[in-house]
Structure 1
Amino acid sequence: MYTQCPECLTVYKLEAELLVPACGCLRCSHCGTVFNALGTLAAHLPAEPFTQLPMHALDQEPPVVDVAVFRPRPAATTPEPVPEAVVSLVADDGVVEAGPEPAPLGEDFSQLTFTPKFARTKKPRAWRSLAWVGVCAVLVLGLGAQLAWAKRDSLVADPTFGPVLQAACGVLGCHLPLVAAPGRLRLLARDVEQHPSVPDGLLITASVHNDAAFAQPYPVVTIVLSDANGQRLAMRRFQPADYVGDADARARGLGADATTAMVFEVQDPGQHAVAFAFSFE
Structure 2
Amino acid sequence: MGLQTRCPACHTVFGITPDLLARRHGMVRCGACLTVFDGRQSLSDTDDLPLLTETVSPSEPPPSSQAEAPALPVDEPVAAEEASFRGTPSPDPWHEEADFSTGIDPDTPVHVITPDREKEKDAPRHWLGDPPATGTNDDDRANDTPGYVEPPRDPELDTPADSFLLDETDRRAGLPEFLDDDTQNRQRHHQGLWTVLCVLALALMLLQLFWQQRDWIASWHPAVRGVIERLCDPLGCKVGYLRHPDQLQIVSSSLQTATPAAPDGSRQLTLPGEQHRLDLNLRLRNGHHSPQPWPGIFLSLTDFSDTIVARKALLPADYLPPDRLSRPFAAMSSLDLSIPLTLDDLTVSGYRLELFFP
TM-score of the pair, normalised by structure 2: 0.40
Which of the pair has more CA radius of gyration? Answer: 2
Higher relative contact order (CA 8 A, sep 6+): 2
**Bigger share in helix:** 2
